[in-house]
Amino acid sequence: MKIILIGIQGAGKSTQGNMLSKKFKIPYLSTGHIFRQISKEHSPLGRYIKEVMNAGYLIPDDKTLEIVSEYLSRPEYEEGYILDGFPRTIQQAEKFSNGITKAVYLKVSDKEALWRLAGRSVTEKETRDDDTLKAIFKRIELFHKFTEPVLAHYRHHHKLVEVDGEKPIAEVFQEIVEKLA
């Protein structure tokens, strides 16, 4: 099973991704986590990724596709995966050659996402240099501009599953599991 989780920052993708990983016994992979790891490297790519993320912008499509494809070529992803944070643009969705079973859209309003992000623990915020208010607003803006067309792409291909991400965590999880069955 190859599942993509789509949603605005704060929608609960990592929470649901980890729960789904345990349920279906397939690995969970977050592109945000990958990019944050790369941004810590003392390399030209690491510095570049850090600057782009801290400004709240998206990593360019070609670089994102290259990094994600490299990760998914690893043996642990052969049997399937849960992918969070990719694809974020229609170009990424169209060029992604790995194929997916379903794209799960966690629908959460901008207001709810901001509320959740404001409530993140200090420990969580300390590990994320890209969680400034300015960067968060920029990512919300970019989600609406670039990622919403991805939803239409997967809807057109009959692969989109829409879930009300504002419900309690357990209810969201149950709805996802039911819709994937």
pLDDT in single tens digits along all 181 residues of the chain: 999 999 998 899 999 999 999 999 999 999 988 898 899 999 999 999 999 988 878 789 999 999 998 889 999 999 999 999 899 899 999 999 778 999 999 999 998 888 888 776 444 545 555 567 777 787 788 888 988 999 999 999 999 999 999 999 999 999 999 999 8
pLDDT at 113: 87
pLDDT at 118: 77
- Provide the Cα torsion 50, 120, 133, 71; round to 10°: 30
Query: Which domain, by its residues, includes 49?
Result: 2-180
**CATH number of the CATH domain containing 30:** 3.40.50.300
Instruction: Count the domains in the chain.
Output: 1
Structure tokens at 181: 């069955």
pLDDT at 94: 92
pLDDT at 130: 56
pLDDT at 40: 93
